[in-house]
Amino acid sequence: MITFESVSKTFPDGTKAVTDLDLEIPTGSFTVLVGPSGCGKTTSMRMINRMVAPTAGRVLIDGQDIAEIRAVTLRLGIGYVLQNAGLFPHRTVLDNVATVQRLLGLSKSQARAKAHEALERVGLDAALANRYPAQLSGGQQQRVGVARALAADPPILLMDEPFSAVDPIVREELQAEVRHLQAEIKKTIVMVTHDIDEALGLGDKIAVMAPGGQLQQYDTPLQILTRPANSFVNSLVAKDRGFRTLSFATLKDVDATSLGSPGSDGLIPLGVGAPGWLLELDMALRTATWRGPDGEETGAAVLHRGDSVRSALDAVLASPCSLVLLMDENDVPRSYVGLEDLAPYLRHGVRSRA
């Protein structure tokens, strides 16, 4: 548990970065601090590892005031991912990741073994281990930064706008990777971002902060969207709110149409769902292809019942026949949904079904 008790930070020039912050971050949770520039979110996060000292109040980890913990000891137990990875340019990827283990006293061979495990965990090819940061793409560098932060298996991970310096496609990939990692390792993660969509997609809890470091609302993403505490929070989430809420409804209860039997040509007609369209399934290669009335062919998007209505809507709108396949519990395509099946959610949103 990370606890902020009436924490304030005023800089020597009189700038008030954080004002009377009271916040409890549960162990194993993913908390995102979000807000405009100058709202104190980065300052607040940096107070957790004493990179910034509060001018009033206390920050505690599991009930212990961090001011009483030796700074080096404290920081060795907290992973830190910087905005631009912050890698040492003169060290290989492997030695960058092994840095903290070496500081903890492990031998070079032990540290490198741990570093290899961390690289594998974040999805980096072992062939990259002996390259230098300048030889990597921005997304690969950021993955190395995450691997370095995780390599010593710290209980707490701080992330300072870790994906803002990469392109949108890589950013989505990294966000998905972090979601997968957190489901597996369950660290206490505190992340800073100015992107409300990123906050809604990653956080278990979101702390919305206003200029002056004033906490406006601390709640789940769904509550932030559907029950903003005040006009400031409302202004932050108002744009595309209905679309965003679809991320919190799954396809579990959506009515789907069962796939029919293949014809003599091995193709499955889609009937009224998409007149003239056929589906070709190759179970051996695990591929699905839409075949149109004019001979066009395109790969079919496939989702699971646990996926969100928002992801289904994206897939349906991108599909040439406005349909998306659904897998059963054995990962076999058994049914499909279209825009009409999603319509009740588009009309009423997640609030009526939450």
The reported pLDDT for the residue numbered 139 is 81
Q: Are residues 104 and 166 in the same domain?
A: yes
Task: Render pLDDT for 229-243 as a digit per residue (tens, 0 to 9).
Answer: 999 998 888 776 666
Secondary element (H or E) of residue 256: none
190 C-beta neighbours (distance < 10 Å), count: 26
The domain boundary, picked from 207, 239, 271, lies at: 239
| CA Rg value for the chain | 24
Domain of 46, CATH number, reads: 3.40.50.300
Q: In this structure, is residue 23 part of a structural domain?
A: yes
Q: In this structure, is residue 248 part of a structural domain?
A: no
The domain boundary, picked from 196, 211, 239, lies at: 239
149 C-beta neighbours (distance < 10 Å), count: 25
Q: In this structure, is residue 310 part of a structural domain?
A: yes
Is pLDDT at 102 greater than 70 in this prediction?
yes
Q: How far is CA 314 from CA 173, 185, 243, 262, 318, in A?
A: 16, 29, 10, 27, 6
The reported pLDDT for the residue numbered 143 is 85
The reported pLDDT for the residue numbered 207 is 96
The reported pLDDT for the residue numbered 354 is 39
> How high is the mean pLDDT of the chain?
85
User: What angle do the packed helices 309-318 and 339-348 form, to 10 degrees?
Assistant: 130
Q: Which of 43-52, 183-192, 234-243 has the lowest mean pLDDT?
A: 234-243
Q: Are residues 80 and 111 in the same domain?
A: yes
Q: In this structure, is residue 250 part of a structural domain?
A: no
Burial 75-101 (b: 16+ CB within 10 A, else e): bebbbbbbbebbbeeeebbbbbbbbbb
Q: Which of 40-44, 107-111, 248-252 has the highest mean pLDDT?
A: 40-44
Q: What is the pTM of this model?
A: 0.75
**84 vs 90, residue with greater confidence:** 90
Q: In this structure, is residue 29 part of a structural domain?
A: yes
Long-range pairs, 283-291, Cβ under 8 A, ≥24: 283/332, 288/325, 288/333, 290/319, 290/320, 290/321, 290/323, 291/267
Share of the chain above pLDDT 70, in %: 94
Q: Are residues 24 and 135 in the same domain?
A: yes
Task: Compute the distance between CA of residue 132 and CA of residue 346 in angstroms, rounded to an integer.
Answer: 48
Q: Are residues 12 and 52 in the same domain?
A: yes
Asked if 344 and 337 touch (Cβ cutoff 8 Å), the reply is no
Mean pLDDT throughout 116-120?
85
Is pLDDT at 346 greater than 80 in this prediction?
no
Q: Are residues 199 and 303 in the same domain?
A: no
* DSSP, residue by residue, 166-196: S-HHHHHHHHHHHHHHHHHH--EEEEEES-H
Residue 25, token pair as written in the block: 């971050």
Three-state secondary structure call for residue 94: helix
Q: Are residues 325 and 234 in the same domain?
A: no
Task: Render pLDDT for 260-277 as a digit per residue (tens, 0 to 9).
Answer: 888 777 888 887 667 788
Task: Render pLDDT for 287-331 as a digit per residue (tens, 0 to 9).
Answer: 788 888 887 888 888 888 888 888 888 888 888 888 898 888 877
The amino acid at 32: V
Asked if 7 and 55 touch (Cβ cutoff 8 Å), the reply is no
Secondary element (H or E) of residue 72: helix 71-76
The reported pLDDT for the residue numbered 285 is 57
Q: Are residues 197 and 338 in the same domain?
A: no
Q: In this structure, is residue 130 part of a structural domain?
A: yes
Residue linked to tokens 């997609």: 201
Residue 186, token pair as written in the block: 């369950």
Q: Are residues 35 and 151 in the same domain?
A: yes
The reported pLDDT for the residue numbered 282 is 78
The amino acid at 314: D
The domain boundary, picked from 205, 239, 273, lies at: 239
The reported pLDDT for the residue numbered 240 is 67
The amino acid at 168: P
Q: Are residues 87 and 202 in the same domain?
A: yes
Is pLDDT at 352 greater than 70 in this prediction?
no
Domain of 340, CATH number, reads: 3.10.580
Asked if 292 and 323 touch (Cβ cutoff 8 Å), the reply is no
Number of domains in the chain: 2
Mean pLDDT throughout 162-190?
82
Q: In this structure, is residue 166 part of a structural domain?
A: yes
Q: Are residues 175 and 86 in the same domain?
A: yes
Asked if 154 and 79 touch (Cβ cutoff 8 Å), the reply is yes
- For residue 336, the enclosing domain spans 257-348
Q: Are residues 34 and 149 in the same domain?
A: yes
Confidence of residue 347 (pLDDT cuts 50, 70, 90): low
Confidence of residue 348 (pLDDT cuts 50, 70, 90): low
Is pLDDT at 108 greater than 80 in this prediction?
yes
Mean pLDDT throughout 198-225?
90
Task: Compute the distance between CA of residue 23 and CA of residue 16 in angstroms, rounded to an integer.
Answer: 18
* DSSP, residue by residue, 26-53: -TT-EEEEE-STTSSHHHHHHTTTTSS-
Q: In this structure, is residue 14 part of a structural domain?
A: yes
Q: Are residues 16 and 114 in the same domain?
A: yes
